[in-house]
Chain A
Amino acid sequence: MNKVKTKYANGGMVEKNGVGGWIADILIYAFLVLMMFICIIPLWYSLVASFSDGFTLYNTDGMIWLPVGKWNLKGYAHVFATDQVFLGYGNTLLYVVSATLLGFVLNVLAGYVLSRDTRYRGIMIMIVMFTMMFGGGLIPTYIVMKALGFVNNPLAIIIPTCTNAYFMILMMNAYLSVPQSTVEAAQLDGAGHFRLMFQICLPQCMSIATVVLLYSVVFQWNSWFQAYVYLSSAKEWWPLQLVVNNMIAENTNFMQSGNIDYSRYLIQYGLVVVATIPILCAFPFFQKYIEKGAVLGGVKE
């Protein structure tokens, strides 16, 4: 039985293969190889370009597969010439850690509260869910943030984006899946709400909690718009992505102004590498949870 399962499990594949099957297989593999190529190549290009010689790169048409000209680190020397990038790393780290932790606490709280069988549970869920349906929009939100004193203040990144209704509903479902008998047994032993929330239920919701945590980390790492709007004149608080965006724009203008320093041509590639390497290094570790999260997204509602 098991053998049959593996034989057919994969979307209806059978062992036998005619000529048509072979052609189909070849087309499928060719397509997927091309797809992988398209996914990887922009990043590979940036990587090899960042080590290339600026002048040679500037005069090379079309694709490069390996660094052209003499290998060098001049691009990176430019990238790290000011402390902007380090500052960006530091700020992003601050935002990732603080927003994720704050969001985690709120998510656990919401997951627990919304999953308890209380009289006004429905209303509480409505309050949370309605924010998924309708929003105030950019300017009304901006005015509120200004009134709170959050403009040009790092709290504008940490607090408002730390969680959202969707994460809370996911956590609610996770808490609902904890068997009622476990909760009741713990209550008989005299466990209070916080003990129930963190020590009894949370370990059983860990896989969804991890998914939510990781999404929050990735979101903060890649986020730029919030800072673009609220921290526009507080450069010292810019996250890495906004620093990268700004440095590339400045450099493009600088090069268009007729300054012929070809190694500046490497800056943008260096920045792409600097901004992407950390998350791609972490990728294999959170891959399992990402697949879980993507499927969770498909079964919500």
Chain B
Amino acid sequence: MQTLENVAAVEEEDVSPAELRKRKRQDKHKKWVKDMKKDYPIYLLFIPILVFFVIFNYVPMFGIIIAFEDYKPGRGVFGSEWAGMHGFENFYDLFSNESFPLVFRNTCVMAAMNLTIGFLAPVILGLILSQVRFRPFKRVAQTVSYMPYFVATVVVCSLIKDFLSDSGVITDLFVALGAPKEDMLTNPKYFWWINTFAGIWQGAGYGSIVYVAAISNINPDLYEAAALDGAGRWRRLVNITLPSILPTIIMMFTMSVGTVFMTGFDKVLLLYNESIYDTADCLSTFTYRWGVEQNNYGLSSAAGLFQSVISTALLLLSNKLTKVAAKTSLF
């Protein structure tokens, strides 16, 4: 023991701590140079990708400052004055805009409906598909179910407009059930449901693919054992199938929490009209109208930033949730 310590002490005495740090730095530098020599072609190859993201993603992120400016197109981002109220005038205008409470409510309601009904639809469809014993039928049903995912949003919305017009096919169906004969897209009462079901028609089949795949990966021995224990079909569904795909369900849910505030609103832009702004107008359409149609860039950017911040917060929250869920779903 004694001798070993002595040796170490002698070695340390040879070089001062400063000298040691210097050597360490040199070593580090040498390694850096060596790494760079090896890697620089890779970094060069990264340049086009960097340029792509800088131009189309990072510069616009920087451009968010116009939300705090009294932006004048002629003067540009750097020439424009800061907005009043220490730069927060656009936000004041946004929050005090007479339609803002409704816009915010509509965005939240439609997001919530997409997260609940819109989220459950593919889970249920996946479970039902997995119950089909006759394989060719299952294949056909599944294929047909996700075909609408590839029909363009423009086409889907023009069909909805036609079918829900005062002489449309779906309106006729509702009239037969006792509803008044009217253009359903001009009645604010219906819009949230129309939007949600349009989303389900387009996306439920596609969304169910991942659940069908997860179910087909369940170990058949589990079912066999349960069947031998006398578990019926319903019990097997509840006690084996559901718990087995729960991790997938949780993961898909947290992923949709992260994107729900941003996606799916292009349908609203195609479907809505002035008579249903009260229930249809949402942050995306508000941003579009004030920015592109009214050229009020400051207000529009403020609305866009508000939406981005909430969306990012939701995304971070959902990532946290995924981590917690990943832990709990182990048990």
B152 touches A9 (CB 8 A): no
Shortest Cβ distance from A28 into B: residue: B131
Binary interface encoding of chain B residues 118-147 relative to chain A, with 1 for a CB under 8 A from any of its CBs, else 0:
000000010111111101011011011111
A55 sits at the interface (CB 8 A)? no
A119 touches B128 (CB 8 A): no
B144 touches A40 (CB 8 A): yes
How many chain B residues touch the partner (CB < 8 A)? 108
Chain A residues whose CB sits within 8 angstroms of the CB of B57 once the complex forms: 131, 135-136
B300 touches A134 (CB 8 A): no
A224 touches B152 (CB 8 A): yes
Shortest Cβ distance from A14 into B: residue: B227
Binary interface encoding of chain A residues 2-36 relative to chain B, with 1 for a CB under 8 A from any of its CBs, else 0:
00110111111110000011001100110110011
Using A8-B220, A134-B61 as known contacts, say yes or no to A46 and B42 having CB atoms under 8 A apart.
no
A275 touches B227 (CB 8 A): no
B64 sits at the interface (CB 8 A)? yes
A112 sits at the interface (CB 8 A)? yes
A143 sits at the interface (CB 8 A)? yes
B224 touches A8 (CB 8 A): yes
B90 to chain A, nearest CB (A): 11
Using A137-B307, A143-B66, A193-B45 as known contacts, say yes or no to A35 and B159 having CB atoms under 8 A apart.
no
Number of A-B contacts (CB under 8 A): 274
Binary interface encoding of chain A residues 180-218 relative to chain B, with 1 for a CB under 8 A from any of its CBs, else 0:
000000000000010000000000000000000000001
Using A128-B49, A280-B147 as known contacts, say yes or no to A137 and B215 having CB atoms under 8 A apart.
no
Stretch at the interface among A66-74, A75-83, A93-101, A242-250: A242-250
Chain B residues whose CB sits within 8 angstroms of the CB of A13 once the complex forms: 131, 133, 223, 233
A160 to chain B, nearest CB (A): 5
Chain B residues whose CB sits within 8 angstroms of the CB of A218 once the complex forms: 150
Complex CA distance for A138 and B49, rounded to whole angstroms: 22
A137 touches B133 (CB 8 A): no
B210 touches A297 (CB 8 A): yes
B150 touches A283 (CB 8 A): yes
A298 touches B301 (CB 8 A): no
Interface bin, chain A: 35 or more
B202 to chain A, nearest CB (A): 10
Using A144-B59, A224-B154 as known contacts, say yes or no to A12 and B236 having CB atoms under 8 A apart.
yes
A135 touches B61 (CB 8 A): yes
B128 touches A31 (CB 8 A): yes
B163 touches A12 (CB 8 A): no
Stretch at the interface among B6-14, B93-101, B287-295: B287-295
B111 sits at the interface (CB 8 A)? no
A285 sits at the interface (CB 8 A)? no
Chain B residues whose CB sits within 8 angstroms of the CB of A110 once the complex forms: 49
B151 sits at the interface (CB 8 A)? yes
A86 sits at the interface (CB 8 A)? no
Using A8-B223, A144-B55, A144-B60 as known contacts, say yes or no to A62 and B209 having CB atoms under 8 A apart.
no
B312 sits at the interface (CB 8 A)? yes
A24 touches B233 (CB 8 A): yes
B102 to chain A, nearest CB (A): 20
A158 sits at the interface (CB 8 A)? no
B162 sits at the interface (CB 8 A)? yes
B269 to chain A, nearest CB (A): 8
A177 sits at the interface (CB 8 A)? no
B305 sits at the interface (CB 8 A)? yes
Complex CA distance for A116 and B93, rounded to whole angstroms: 49
A169 sits at the interface (CB 8 A)? no
A138 touches B291 (CB 8 A): yes
B315 sits at the interface (CB 8 A)? yes
Complex CA distance for A121 and B172, rounded to whole angstroms: 60
B128 touches A10 (CB 8 A): no
A149 to chain B, nearest CB (A): 12
B48 interface neighbour in A106, A120, A124, A133, Cβ under 8 Å = A106
A138 touches B304 (CB 8 A): yes
B83 sits at the interface (CB 8 A)? no
Chain B residues whose CB sits within 8 angstroms of the CB of A279 once the complex forms: 150-152
Q: Tell me the B6-45 residues at the A interface (CB within 8 Å).
A: 32, 35-36, 38-39, 41-43, 45
Shortest Cβ distance from B292 into A: residue: A229
A268 interface neighbour in B59, B162, B213, B308, Cβ under 8 Å = B162
Report which residue of B57, B131, B154, B176 has the largest number of chain A beta carbons within 10 angstroms of its beta carbon.
B154
Chain A residues whose CB sits within 8 angstroms of the CB of B43 once the complex forms: 118, 120
B199 sits at the interface (CB 8 A)? no
B152 touches A221 (CB 8 A): yes
B63 touches A138 (CB 8 A): no
Complex CA distance for A10 and B240, rounded to whole angstroms: 12
B143 touches A136 (CB 8 A): no
Q: List 20 A-B contacts (CB under 8 A).
A: A4-B220, A11-B130, A14-B223, A20-B233, A29-B137, A45-B163, A63-B169, A136-B61, A139-B63, A139-B300, A140-B59, A140-B304, A144-B59, A222-B151, A268-B162, A276-B152, A280-B151, A290-B206, A291-B213, A295-B213
For the A-B complex with A38-B201, A113-B42 known, give 5 more contacts whose Cβ atoms are closer than 8 Å. A11-B215, A14-B233, A140-B64, A275-B152, A290-B146
Query: Which 4 pairs across A and B sit closest by C-beta, in order of nearness?
Result: A136-B60, A140-B63, A137-B304, A11-B130
